[in-house]
């Protein structure tokens, strides 16, 4: 009996658990998130539903939004008129199995039949077959990765728990607005008949969705079909990376999320994150700053971090190190004034003495008002250099080979700035003269960095 249980454990681990982890964390053979400047994707599971789907289609039409519906085949079979309307109104129709059952609980042949049966129903109504598939609960098994499936697995980047009625409309709206942004694949449900869902939950989803679409309109964002998002993503330089590097990037970005949660980092501009920060006590040796100030052990500081996902995306979209540096300069110039406003308006930050970060930028930060100092020699400096070397080998446009040629330049530095200096420089609304000075400084910085071979990355 013990041997049988052990074999069942091994089989379930390799058949279900490991493929699930690989797909969720590293995006292996699945699509989870797109790219772009103004586009996001609304996706709806478990329908169609005769009560809520027509109202949802009306709402999407009102805002000119396109969406992707992953339909349950048995529901589609009962309501072909809704499948026809989805198709006629320009939405994408995907497959969500014939019945809403986990792929972990079905043999590969059964999953294949579920997909094929649902696809036949869609074809019978629309005259087109679907090549997009979302397994129920996003749970894949080992054979879902097979190319013989002839479907593209689509997961999501943002899920909100909208199938629970006790979440409430206000909280659901907050969660949706917090994740509204370019490239997001948002998971919602237009049917509440699935096991574990509340039948009336789509009612509050529709209210929250209208508020989200209204905000998207205000921001100039638009919802597109998943196939259009995939086509745009396929042009991304990310696809030029080997699977090993994509695996490394996945682990790195997972660590980024864990780090932000563990240390409760706050984000300067949540809608387009670039700088994160946290309040802590300085624990290093005494350092002289500008304005005759000294930073001593125990002083309150704001530790800043660059968003790793944004850093990676800037890196892979840049044709050269100079272009990456210039893009980082522009983002920093956008976020520092906002950080100054946050500090000025938050009483809990009133006693902060300085901004603090660790970077490999050898030139540039001082033009923003930072003082650049060497890290004290020791274990922290060595580990930081190793971490940033690995990081830059992935995001640097020239790749790891170029970094090896200039390894002596990979020296992590501390950057520091008195908070009073930040507030003086950025804390007031820019006048014309002040704005021109900032623009001139940024232009000089861009010229300087155009010759710099190693744009920076902030270490955690």
At 389 the pLDDT is: 66
Q: Where in the chain is the domain with CATH 3.20.20.370?
A: 2-235
Catalytic residue from among 75, 96, 100, 189 = 189
At 362 the pLDDT is: 55
User: 178 to each of 98, 167, 175, 215, 255, how far by Cα in Å?
Assistant: 33, 15, 5, 11, 21
At 47 the pLDDT is: 96
Q: Is 45 a catalytic residue?
A: yes
At 403 the pLDDT is: 46
Q: What is the pLDDT of residues 260-284, one digit of tens each?
A: 889 899 999 887 788 999 999 998 8
Query: Are 392 and 360 a contacting pair, CB within 8 Å?
Result: yes
Segment-wise mean pLDDT, segments of 10 residues, the chain, 460 residues: 47 47 56 86 97 98 98 98 98 96 81 94 97 88 56 92 95 95 95 93 98 95 95 67 68 80 90 88 88 90 87 69 73 88 89 87 70 80 70 57 48 86 72 44 44 40
User: 110 to each of 101, 116, 425, how far by Cα in Å?
Assistant: 11, 10, 65
At 119 the pLDDT is: 97
Q: What is the pLDDT of residues 1-25, one digit of tens each?
A: 545 444 444 444 444 554 455 545 4
Query: How many angstroms from the chain centroid is the CA of residue 322?
Result: 25
CA–CA separation, 429 and 425 (whole Å): 10
At 100 the pLDDT is: 92
For the segment(s) 2-235, the CATH number from 3.30.1360.70, 3.40.30.10, 3.20.20.370, 3.40.50.300 is: 3.20.20.370
Is the entire prediction scored with pTM above 0.75? no
Q: What is the DSSP string of 66-85?
A: -EEEEE-HHHHHH-HHHHHH
Q: Is 150 a catalytic residue?
A: no
In the block, residue with structure tokens 């043999």: 107
Catalytic residue from among 45, 46, 49, 307 = 45
Sort 433 into a burial class: Cβ within 10 Å, 0-12 / 13-18 / 19+: exposed
Query: Are 389 and 439 a contacting pair, CB within 8 Å?
Result: no
At 291 the pLDDT is: 78
Beta-carbon count within 10 A of 132 CB: 20
Q: Residue 172 corresponds to which tokens in the numbers above?
A: 């659901």
């Amino acid at each position: 009996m013990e041997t049988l249980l052990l074999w069942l454990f091994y089989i379930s681990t390799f058949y279900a658990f490991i493929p699930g982890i690989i797909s969720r964390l590293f995006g292996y053979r699945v699509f989870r998130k797109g790219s772009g400047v103004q586009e996001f994707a609304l996706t709806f599971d478990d329908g169609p539903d005769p009560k809520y789907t027509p109202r949802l289609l009306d709402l999407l039409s009102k805002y000119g939004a396109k969406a992707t519906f992953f339909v349950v085949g048995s529901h589609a079979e009962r309501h072909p008129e809704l499948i026809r309307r989805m198709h006629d109104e320009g939405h994408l129709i995907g497959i969500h199995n014939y019945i809403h059952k986990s792929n972990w609980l079905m043999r590969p042949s059964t999953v294949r039949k579920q997909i094929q049966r649902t696809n036949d129903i869609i074809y019978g109504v629309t005259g087109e077959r679907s090549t997009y598939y979302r397994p129920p609960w996003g749970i894949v098994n080992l054979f879902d990765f097979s190319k013989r499936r002839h479907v593209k697995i689509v997961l999501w980047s943002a899920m909100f728990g909208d199938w629970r009625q006790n979440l409430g409309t206000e909280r659901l709206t907050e969660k949706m607005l917090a994740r509204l942004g370019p490239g997001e694949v948002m998971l919602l449900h237009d049917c509440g008949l699935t096991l574990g869902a509340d039948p009336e939950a789509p009612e509050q989803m529709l209210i929250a969705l209208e508020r989200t679409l209204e905000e998207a309109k205000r921001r100039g964002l638009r919802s597109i079909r998943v196939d259009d998002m995939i086509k745009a993503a396929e042009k991304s330089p990310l696809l030029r990376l080997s699977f090993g590097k994509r695996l490394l990037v996945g682990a790195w970005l997972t660590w980024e999320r864990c780090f932000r949660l563990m240390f409760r980092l706050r984000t300067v501009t949540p809608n387009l994150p670039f700088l994160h920060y946290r309040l802590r006590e300085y624990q290093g040796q005494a350092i002289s700053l500008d304005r005759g100030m000294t930073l001593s052990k125990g002083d309150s500081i704001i530790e800043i971090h660059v968003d790793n996902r944004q850093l990676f995306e800037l890196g892979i979209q840049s044709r050269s190190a100079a272009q990456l540096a210039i893009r980082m300069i522009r983002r920093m110039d956008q976020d520092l004034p906002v950080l100054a406003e946050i500090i000025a308006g938050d009483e809990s930050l009133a006693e902060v003495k300085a901004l603090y970060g660790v970077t490999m930028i050898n030139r540039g930060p001082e033009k923003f008002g930072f003082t650049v100092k060497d890290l004290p020699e020791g274990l922290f400096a060595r580990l930081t250099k190793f971490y940033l070397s690995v990081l830059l080998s992935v995001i640097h446009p020239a790749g790891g080979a170029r970094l090896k040629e200039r390894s002596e330049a990979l020296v992590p530095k501390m950057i520091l700035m008195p908070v009073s200096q930040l507030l003086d420089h950025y804390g007031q609304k820019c006048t014309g003269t002040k704005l021109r000075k900032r623009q001139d400084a940024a232009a000089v910085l861009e010229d300087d960095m155009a010759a710099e071979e190693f744009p920076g990355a902030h270490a955690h």
